[in-house]
A and B are shown apart, each in its own frame.
Chain A
Amino acid sequence: MRNAEQQGRVPSQEPASHLDDRALCSAFRVPRFAFGGGGAVRERVLVAMSGGVDSSVAAALLVEAGYDVVGATMKLFCYGDAVPDRPCCSLDSITDARLVAHKLGIPHYVLNFEDRFGRDVIANFVAEYARGRTPIPCVRCNSFTKFRDFLYHADALDCAYIATGHYAIARDGALFRGRDPRKDQSYFLWGIDRTVVARMLTPVGALSKRETRDVARRLGLVTADKVESVEICFVPDDDYVGVLERHLPADAPALTPGPLVTAGGAVVGEHAGFARYTIGQRRGLPGGFREPMYVVAIRPETREVVIGSGDELFGHTVTLGEVNWLAEPRAPGDGVLMQCRYRAPAVPGRVREVTGGTIAVDLAQPVRAITPGQSGALYDPDGRLLGGGVIT
């Protein structure tokens, strides 16, 4: 089974076997007991409970391990009137989180981050599309919301740790890929502050999704069989253009027609707004070419969407901006493994250039659809997340 799940992955990026064994035992350290005030005081941890099965199990495992667990659901946005058939403010998921917390005998709170999430994540999401890029809001949510704003609350509550249901493994101040390669979410975590890693607990990082569900069923948690959400939380029905239309003026260049061109400069048609396209996209392009055509570039300054053959999609060099390190920064000449898309294989590469906040990496093999706005996550051969940046 596992082999099938891992097809297409570079062997060297697998966690080394000793890590696997330790991970199987526990992806998080057992709590320390401080003494004072008439007895043992358990270490407190604030768990981000989304109302899904992963974070439910994370909370459950921490309770079993003996932590003083406080659960909290971050309220990040409000569907409001835009989506009348959806429960406003995802009340269903808050209810699920609350039920799980009640079952586990832990307190549960709702933290309202709407203002800050709107500013740090949604506004950036819109701005990135407006300049022709394809952003990953989950990365910024982790960097700014889950592992920064949430930590402020943890500090105020005297929590030694914060925990989430991420499939990644935090150990000794370092972050590693989650054990289940199909679920590994470390790709989205490159942007968090390095000092935060030492305070992260990742209870499900060493589990497979199946094992996570098994724990949930064993404990009778209501979220055990909940269907996984795959869409961006604030984008209803996967209609990201709808979100852009609500946030951008009607005449925004990103949403208004522009020329569809080939790499050679020939105008072959018109598109309905470059924000509707992403690199590697085939859908919605005109036919009549000898071979399948894909979006190979977006030029916001001229509103051009460039299309080309599949070959034109491959690139050998990736440049990252907004670089963040979770390990000692790498220098020119150093070898790294670079992952340019969620669930894509990491490819070996060598650092060519490092300047303030950017890094250029030459890849040992070409990578398809290197997309500005997506993330480049850097790993070492043990599956340790070294850092990353936004593809420019």
Chain B
Amino acid sequence: MPKRLVYLDNAATTPVRPEVLEAMLPYLGPDAFGNPSSPHRFGRAARAGVEEAKRSIAAALGVDPGQVIFTSGGTEADNLAVIGCALAARERGGPFRIAVSAIEHKAVLAAAHAVAHLGGEEIILPVNGLGEVSEDALGEALARGVAVVSVMWVNNEIGVVQPVGRLAARCREAGVPFHVDGVQAFGKIPASLHDVACTLFTISGHKIGAPKGIGALVVRDRHAVEAILHGGGQQFGIRPGTENVPGIVGLGAAVELAAREQAAFAARAAALRDELERRLLAVVPDAVINGAHGRRAPHVTSVSIPGTDSEALLMHLDLAGIACSSGSACSTGAVEPSHVLTAMGVPRELGVAALRFSFGKQNTAEDVEAVVGALPKIVEKVRALAAVLHR
């Protein structure tokens, strides 16, 4: 067991914050475990928790409490937005067609595929070398007519920030619902919806210190989406099912904390990230920071280390006590660069050699120190290995 453990994979998930756990506990115990739809005291106690959380989230996002729909997480919220909008459009005789950016999370991309599979059509909006979505392509999609446009605010792999305010305005002008996946944006950059005229907005609990299995979709126009789950009519029928009360309460607490701490966190994370990038480039001079020159969120950096492969790097880093993630994925046949790096035009050999470090509130300068200390030797070994394996 390594002496010191460093967790730099906060974009994958985060530990539950003690304050969040504290807030949740009553809703797991004998007093407030009730079904929020029940009229008795147990139900009322649970309902109070749900409504309070809804209010906190609405306040933090600058929306109405009635616009917050809880889901089982970011993936479900994204599916509801993309598929729900497509189904609603088809229902009213609109275009059964959606447009999503090429660097969306798989939750959005796979939902878009599902629409195509159902007989609809998907339009993939390309990005440039910095990961910025092509606004020309958006214009063409809007001109053709689509049920929804989905663009993520902050990309989970490289941290690129999209101008969602401007994109939202263009969609509104065209009368097209606009969905923003805000899972990696909320708590990291100023992410109030006051200035973003989006129709739908996704957040996820476990990226901000709430447990896994809870998320929310802000639905500003209930006519824009049709339910994809069917049941007892809870949450206006948009997302039926007995509410995950403890999760919802946890999400409320985490959102409130994240909103309050956002500016301070961003400053700290940016300083740590910059320090990591600067020192990493000093010890591995040919490393490449993917999307470095674009507008980036403060907590994520994607680094490609030529002549290596990320699987082996991750393994060696883990043995050294350092947890981060790769920029590659298993697809049929072999390890391939992620769709994000591929869409940005990152060459394959750099794409399969990408590491993602993502910062959370617990990280310190010592964590950066640990990475920079361990990396040169690891890179040397993995390069030697890769040279043998790719001979």
Contact = CB atoms under 8 A, between A and B. Distances in A.
Nearest to A82: B332
B143 interface: no
A155 B389 CA distance: 12
Interface string A106-145: 0101111011100000000000000000000000000000
A88 B388 CA distance: 28
Contacts of B315: 109, 111, 157
Given A107-B318, A107-B319, A153 B312 contact: yes
Contacts of B384: 156
A116 B391 CA distance: 11
Q: Is the interface of B mostly helix, strand, loop or mixed?
A: helix
Given A109-B315, A112-B311, A152 B334 contact: no
Interface string B327-369: 0001011110000000000000000000000000000000000
Interface in B288-330: 311-312, 314-316, 318-319, 330
B220 interface: no
A327 to B, nearest CB: 27
B333 A156 contact: no
Contact of A81 (B332, B385, B389): B332
Pick from B315, B316, B319, B333 the residue with the most CB of A within 10 Å: B315
B223 to A, nearest CB: 38
Nearest to B309: A112
Given A107-B319, A114-B333, 11 more contacts: A89-B330, A109-B314, A110-B311, A112-B330, A112-B334, A115-B334, A149-B389, A152-B385, A153-B312, A156-B381, A157-B316
Nearest to A77: B333
Contacts of A157: 315-316, 319, 381
10 contacts: A75-B330, A88-B332, A89-B330, A109-B315, A109-B318, A112-B335, A114-B334, A156-B381, A157-B315, A157-B319
B332 A156 contact: no
Range of interface residues on chain B?
10 to 19
Contact of B312 (A80, A81, A114, A156): A156
B209 to A, nearest CB: 25
A223 to B, nearest CB: 22
Interface in A294-326: none
Interface string A157-168: 100000000000
Interface residues of A, number: 21
Nearest to A156: B385
Given A81-B332, A114-B333, A149-B389, A156 B319 contact: no
A236 to B, nearest CB: 15
A156 B333 CA distance: 24
Interface of B: 311-312, 314-316, 318-319, 330, 332-335, 381-382, 384-385, 388-389
A29 B318 CA distance: 28
A155 B330 contact: no
Contacts of A116: 389
Contact of B332 (A80, A110, A149, A153): A80
A156 B335 contact: no
A286 to B, nearest CB: 41
A234 to B, nearest CB: 13
Contacts of B314: 109
B332 A111 contact: no
A323 B318 CA distance: 40
A175 interface: no
Contacts of B316: 156-157
B338 to A, nearest CB: 15
A88 B331 CA distance: 10
A152 B387 CA distance: 10
B307 to A, nearest CB: 13
B4 to A, nearest CB: 14
Contact of B388 (A110, A115, A152): A152
Pick from A75, A80, A109, A155 the residue with the most CB of B within 10 Å: A109
B284 to A, nearest CB: 17
Question: 4 shortest A-B CB distances, which residue pairs?
Answer: A156-B385, A80-B332, A109-B315, A156-B381
A70 interface: yes
A155 B319 contact: no
Pick from A88, A116, A153 the residue with the most CB of B within 10 Å: A153
Nearest to A110: B311
Contacts of B312: 153, 156
Nearest to A109: B315
A285 interface: no
B2 to A, nearest CB: 10
Interface string A47-83: 0000000000000000000000010000100101100
A112 B330 CA distance: 9
Contacts of B385: 152-153, 155-156
A112 B312 CA distance: 9
Nearest to B382: A156
B14 to A, nearest CB: 21
A166 B319 CA distance: 26
Contacts of B319: 70, 107, 157
Nearest to B389: A152
A149 B314 CA distance: 18
A111 B311 contact: yes
Contacts of A152: 385, 388-389
Contacts of B333: 78, 80, 114
Interface in A81-118: 81, 88-89, 107, 109-112, 114-116
A127 B389 CA distance: 23
